[in-house]
Chains A and B, each alone.
Chain A
Amino acid sequence: MELINAFGAVLHPWPLFFIVLGTWAGIFVGAVPGLTGGMLISLCIPLTFYMDSTNALILMVAMYVGSVSGGLISAMLLRMPGTPSSIMTTFDGYPMAAKGEPHRALALGIGASLFGGLIAGAFLVVLSPPLSRWALQFGPWEYFAMVLMAIVLIASLSQGSMVKGLLAGFLGMLFAMPGFNESDGQLRLTFGFDELSAGVHLLPMLLGIFVTSQIIKDALEIDRQPDALKLGTGRSWMRLCDWRRHWINIVRSSVIGTWIGILPGVGASISSMVAYGVTRNLSKTPEKFGTGSEEGIVASEAANNANVGGALIPLITMGIPGSPIDAILLSALILHNIQPGPMLFLTNGPFVWSLVAAYLVANVLMFATMTFSVRWLAKAAVVNRAILLPIIFIFSLVGAYALSNRMWDVWVVVGFGVIGFGLERAKIPLGPFVIGFVLAPLFESEFRSALQLSHGNLMGLFERPIATAFFAVAVVMLFWPAIATIRRRR
């Protein structure tokens, strides 16, 4: 019932306008290599300061859906994934398009994206209310253990080295330490800079990590100009026989994408990789993967879109970001004076259901937009970055400055741009860094409260079954690579 009311609310002209705007902007940004959804949403936050909070978050959720989907266009036509989550799509989408079937590749990707998003939406609707009620039982030890689990999970499930994933997470936490400590009002780690009294603000950090570092990276690789495949005339529709052939794969990959999305801190790129791997293992023709396999395209796109819906579940039920972009959405909630966490459903029920409804509508809009305008989107994907990037930086400069009307925050944008660029050069993932930064205050405050409750006794953690379970998962995931190596050697 609440969802139906929410649909009624978001289909009014203004919310609908923001869903359309967000979805289009997201698809465009997703389609252009070098621009990311994180970049777009970070840039958009300052512009939403003056908006109604529901419309602001609706806009950002629509951008999120659009940006994850738009990446498939450049992945298939330019062999350059528009977003990291489209990497797996590139491996089969481009070969199929190069063989003269670009419309078929796009049709499979767009159709799978729609159903991935809708299946995850169903999970979002069904799982969120009971999960948030369950999370109401959480005390400080549960939250502490859950944040610990989230940090270990993002590190162990981030691509490549686990040490680097963990390092990124803890480094993000370290940068969140300066300023007034909420627990006891103690001013710390300001190193003589008065501006650090309020700590490092989240928005300038995000703009630095997602915008400035990307501009430096794009400048370094400015000669990497893609050769776009010609799209020609044709229809990007999935036929009925395609649905019949791929529905099991779509459902399986969507479920994988949703469940990986629910894991705190794990992004869409991991979902598509896992779904792709599972589909290849189960396929009757695994040798076709990487050469233009339909199954590969469907698995990757269904999973990465499903991840968006899955990742919204821990965000709205527990206030724990399911991916780096969810960390930005979390900061947007806080900036709009909405306290995320299990109480959100009780205190702001209509708002939460509006977000869910907007997510579902954005998926349908994404499908319609991409199906009917893919030819123009393909042209937009090769836009001149020399014109686009300076404009993007100017917006991020104003966004950071507008936060407190001080130039310090602009310097933070520049500084974190260098840090982000350096981390990327060393292949240290940025996702755990951002999530570590966002979760650090929660980690510390809950840890301190928990110890106070247990009179300084760390064993209090093991007196709470849920907290113990979270902690056990964290320990298993921490040592999983070593266990897996030993098993392989045997």
Chain B
Amino acid sequence: MRRLWHDSEAQAELILASCMVALSAAVWIAADRLPPPIFDPLGSAAVPKLIAVAVSILAVAMLAQRYFGVADQGAVPDPGDPAETVAPLRPAIAVGAFVAMAFCPAVMETGLFGFRETAFVFILALGGILSRFSRRTMTILVPTAAVLAVGLSWMFGGLLYIDLPATQWLPF
């Protein structure tokens, strides 16, 4: 098991392969419930099943390569990263960025706030997370967020007639 978990690439492979096998199983089960073909020899279930099997086999093959240490090289080897300096990774900031991005549609879905307000807060939040709320960046972000939130809301809603979510309880 240690061979499959020793670095971030191996961990990502293991997690993804597990998800892919689970997804393939779900697709197989759902496809199996489809009615048999009427008009053609294949029907609607055959190709999804075929692809689900291929995904499962390849996911397992990827793990097997990792386990036995026999990673294949395609026709073109990976040239690697040419950058000399490797900066430390910031998983907390990445998680924060993801939460901010997921928060955005979640807030609009509740109907509590519309696009204009959510966009304003989101730009400040994500920009703040990425810059660790540096004063210089935030000083630029506040007017930028205000202009963009109002401007895009007007442009897409008023000009291009895209029905963006609006805050119902605000008078303006």
Contacts and interface: CB of A to CB of B under 8 A. Distances in A.
Given A221-B89, A387-B127, A177 B72 contact: no
A166 B71 CA distance: 14
B101 A159 contact: no
Contacts of A200: none
B55 to A, nearest CB: 5
Contacts of A88: 79
Interface stretch (A17-25, A57-65, A150-158): A150-158
A273 interface: yes
Contact of A160 (B73, B152, B165): B73
A376 interface: no
Interface string A455-490: 110000000000000000000010011001000000
A174 B51 contact: yes
Nearest to B65: A163
Contact of A184 (B40, B76, B77, B123): B40
Contacts of B43: 184, 186
A219 B96 contact: yes
A440 B145 CA distance: 40
Contacts of B59: 167
A428 B16 contact: yes
Interface string A392-426: 01110110011001010011001001100011011
Contacts of A323: none
Given A170-B51, A384-B137, 9 more contacts: A158-B76, A160-B78, A161-B71, A170-B55, A171-B20, A171-B55, A191-B30, A390-B125, A394-B152
Interface of A: 49-50, 75, 79-81, 87-88, 90-91, 94, 155-167, 170-171, 173-174, 177, 181, 183-184, 186, 188-189, 191, 212, 215-226, 270, 273-274, 384-387, 389-391, 393-395, 397-398, 401-402, 405, 407, 410-411, 414, 417-418, 422-423, 425-428, 440, 443-444, 447-448, 451-452, 455-456, 477, 480-481, 484
List 4 tightest A-B contacts by C-beta distance, closest first: A456-B41, A386-B131, A219-B97, A426-B12
Interface of B: 8-9, 12-13, 15-16, 20, 23-24, 26-27, 30-31, 34-35, 37-45, 47-48, 51-52, 54-55, 58-59, 61-62, 65, 71-79, 82-91, 93-94, 96-98, 101-102, 104-105, 108-109, 115, 119, 122-131, 134, 137, 140-141, 144-145, 148, 152, 156, 160, 162-165
